[in-house]
Amino acid sequence: MYENKEPRIYMANLEEIMSGEATDIYFKRTKEVLEKAGLTDVKVRMEVHLYGKPPEGRDWAVYAGLEEAIALLKDKPFTLYSVPEGTIFTRKMPLMIVEGKYIDFVLLEAPLLGLLRFSSSIATKAASLKKVIGDKLLLFFGIRALHPAVFPAADRAAYIGGADSISGVLSEKYLGLKPQGTMPHALILVFGDQKEAWKWFAKVYEGKINLVALTDTLDDERKEALMAAQLLGDKLWGIRLDTPASRRGNMRDIVEEIRWTLDLNGFKHVKIIVSGGLDESSIANLRDIVDGFGVGTSIAMAPSVDLSMDIVEIDRGKGWEPYTKRGKLPGAKKVYSCKPLEYYIKYWNDNELPNCINKEDKPINLMKKYIDNGKLVETLPSLNEIRKYVLSQLPYTT
């Protein structure tokens, strides 16, 4: 028999996440078994690293989500070491070490990995696109592809990875980032006339934002672009093309026609933004004639950066012992960097510095202590500092 019930939005609340209630059942059962067996005092060092290869044929990925991971573990009986958030890393490179009793940590592994994998995946795809886009604009507006509970986290990760702007309204509240955006086709369709829609949009937002007109709703793209420029003149900052794939034809030809027509009619100041199903190859084909790219789904639904977490050392009351499952490297590790992507991995107690390729470079230990027995002991960087760190490393990627 059908049972009536009130609809709801399914999302874990903050208390459920912080307490470890948002976890896999096998972690809960593991905790119960260890409690029954009296193995509650066993200490572990657990390492986060990339399992397998980075997605889409790259040999690198961006490490993101550290601040949220720290928030999850702070004020709990753990010591946490990590490379800085925003580090571009490679396969098998240790990213984080969590030290404490396994019984205290077991319920937190799932949310910890979820935070890191979600943000690292989005940041990596954003960085990959930004590397292709270069000094042109990367505008992220893909939150509609995600569950609304993670909108701010997605905007944060995309911005860290190199997006120049984000679109989520809540990101101003949570991140201090002013959201940017143009207009949807729906606005024009409700007016029933593109000129009226553009005119009213300018009337409401002139002087507050860069006015961008969507110019592919009801008529030919070249015709609408010129129409918008003639209507708004110097008020118009740019036009956006979001032509559906079924009518796109050759987008480069369309953009070239529009650029030529705008310039011919005295509108060289009007910038051209392209959006709609973009990836690295389509962006590369347009970057010399386009001023910015609006990217949504390919960043929001980025291929997963497959981070995993494993016990690498264990202390059963007789001191730390390198110990892990087969296929993994036992022992806690440090990571030294001579320059971006020149990394050297050393065993935790090995204090001999590596030799850099360039002997003038000095190796730096990236594995910093962020939490000491629950207490935050390292100053966290700002969002802009993390983003700059990512961008500074991009030229070294292939």
Between CA 49 and CA 116 the distance in angstroms is 11
pLDDT at 51: 86
pLDDT tens sequence across 315-325: 999 999 999 99
260 pLDDT above the threshold of 70 = yes
- Long-range contacts of range 146-153, CB-CB < 8 Å, 24 or more positions apart? 146/300, 146/301, 147/11, 148/9, 149/9, 149/11, 149/12, 150/118, 153/65, 153/68, 153/115, 153/118, 153/119
Mean pLDDT of the chain: 95
Report angle CA 125, 129, 134 to the nearest 5 degrees: 145
Average pLDDT over residues 368-386: 97
Residue 5 has a pLDDT of 79
Q: Averaged over 271-275, what is the pLDDT?
A: 96
Per residue in 333-342, pLDDT tens? Answer: 999 999 999 9
pLDDT level of residue 249 (50, 70, 90 thresholds): confident
Query: Could you give the CA distance from residue 356 to residue 343 in angstroms, rounded to a whole number?
Result: 9
Domains of the chain: 14-122+303-396 (3.20.140.10), 132-300 (3.20.20.70)
Residue 52 pLDDT: 86
Does 2 score more than 80 pLDDT? no
Nearest to 387 by CA among 112, 127, 93: 127
190-245 pLDDT tens trace: 999 999 999 999 999 999 999 999 999 988 999 999 999 999 999 999 999 997 66
DSSP 8-state secondary structure symbol assigned to residue 25: H
CB atoms within 10 A of CB 42: 15
For residues 242 and 251, what is the distance between their CA atoms, to the nearest angstrom? 10
Q: What is the pLDDT of residue 250?
A: 86
The rounded percent of the chain whose pLDDT value lies above 70 is 98
Per-residue confidence band for 152, with pLDDT thresholds at 50, 70 and 90? very high
CA distance 183 to 189: 11
Q: How are the residues of the chain apportioned to helix, strand and coil, as percentages rounded to the nearest 5?
A: 40, 20, 40
pTM score, whole prediction: 0.95
